[in-house]
């Protein structure tokens, strides 16, 4: 059975390079090509089937790679994510792993390394890394290099939710029903339902369980 792969990178030349590296490997089938994180999430909503493994760039407009993995790992938990980047920054490695990246490769890695990483993640649930990245990760584990402390962006920094939507989101996370939220805010249940629909759309989730998981993962409240 072929491994279904997606590529997310805002630079077309980078996507072409990856495609060329995968071309001679019939066991791998490219089924998705996205120009940024937002494009990837939109495609996933209607994709059938979804990719098994996604090669994810980090620095992209609209949604960067770490944000995209954070959202997508909640909405589409069956996908494995391999970061493919030029960065060896400790914080980026640490943040990518925290949000659910399954591997971390440099764009300069060879065709063989890339193909092996895809197979490793898919077949063995491995955590492939470029040698340079693996050394940094090991140094982080033994305390030689520590990622700089970073504060998670607040919900108003990380999303385009309105103040009212953030208020309703807090009630949702606390388990309140639409009618209870409506009574607390002196609005109609229908208005609450419309706000909730907007929240799901903006956070790229489809139900309450997913939105609660995302909120806890991002430590927004």
Q: What is the pLDDT of residue 62?
A: 83
CA distance 39 to 25: 26
> Are domains 3-142 and 155-218 of this chain identical in fold?
no
Confidence (pLDDT) at 39: 96
Dump pLDDT digits (tens) for 57-82: 998 988 899 999 999 999 999 999 99
Residue identified by tokens 């092996």 is 116
How many other CB atoms are there within 10 angstroms of residue 95's CB atom? 20
Per-residue tokens: 66: 């770490």
pTM: 0.75
User: Does the bond joining 146 to the residue before it have cis omega, within 30 degrees of 0?
Assistant: no
Could you tell me the sign of the dihedral formed by the alpha carbons of 45, 160, 177, 71, in that order?
positive
Residue 47 to residue 55: CA distance in whole angstroms: 16
Residue spans of the domains in the chain: they are 3-142, 155-218
Residue 212 structure tokens = 């609660």
Choose among 3, 16, 13, 18: nearest CA to 110.
18
Say yes or no: domain 155-218 is CATH 1.10.10.10.
yes
pLDDT of residue 211: 87
Q: Which residue has the tokens 């494009």?
A: 39
Identify the pLDDT of residue 43. Answer: 96
Report the b/e string of 63-86 with b at 16+ CB within 10 A: bbbbbbbbbbbbbbeebbbbbbbe
Give, in order, the Cα–Cα distances in Å from 4 to each of 48, 65, 79, 104, 193.
Answer: 11, 19, 10, 18, 36
Query: What pLDDT, on a 0 to 100 scale, did the predictor assign at position 53?
Result: 97
Q: Which residues contact 184 (CB under 8 A, 6 or more apart)?
A: 171, 176
In contact, 64 and 154? CB cutoff 8 Å: no
Q: CATH code for 3-142?
A: 3.40.50.2300
Q: Tens-of-pLDDT digits for all 221 residues of the chain? A: 899 999 999 999 999 999 999 988 999 999 999 999 999 999 999 998 999 999 999 989 888 999 999 999 999 999 999 998 886 666 777 788 888 889 889 888 889 999 999 999 999 988 888 877 777 767 766 666 555 555 567 787 778 889 999 999 999 888 889 999 999 999 999 999 999 999 998 888 888 888 888 888 778 87
């Amino acid at each position: 059975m072929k491994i279904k792969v997606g590529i997310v990178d805002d630079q077309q030349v980078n996507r072409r390079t990856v495609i060329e590296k995968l071309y001679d490997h019939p066991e791998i089938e490219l089924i998705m090509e996205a120009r940024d994180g937002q494009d990837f999430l939109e495609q996933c909503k209607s994709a059938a089937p979804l990719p098994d493994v996604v090669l994810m760039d980090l620095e992209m407009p609209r949604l960067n790679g770490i944000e995209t993995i954070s959202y997508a790992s909640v909405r589409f938990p069956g996908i494995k994510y391999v970061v493919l980047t030029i960065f060896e920054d400790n914080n980026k490695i640490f943040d990518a792993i925290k949000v659910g990246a399954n591997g971390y490769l440099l764009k300069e890695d060879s065709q063989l390394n890339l193909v092996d990483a895809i197979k490793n993640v898919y077949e063995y649930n491995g955590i492939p890394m470029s040698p340079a990245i693996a050394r940094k990760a090991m140094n982080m584990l033994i305390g030689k290099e520590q990622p700089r402390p970073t504060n998670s962006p607040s919900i108003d920094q990380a999303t385009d939710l309105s103040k009212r939507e953030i208020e309703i989101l807090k009630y949702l996370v606390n388990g309140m029903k639409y009618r209870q939220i409506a009574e607390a805010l002196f609005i109609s249940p229908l208005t609450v339902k419309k706000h909730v629909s907007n929240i799901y759309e903006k956070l790229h989730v489809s139900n309450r369980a997913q939105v609660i998981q995302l909120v806890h993962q991002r430590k927004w409240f």
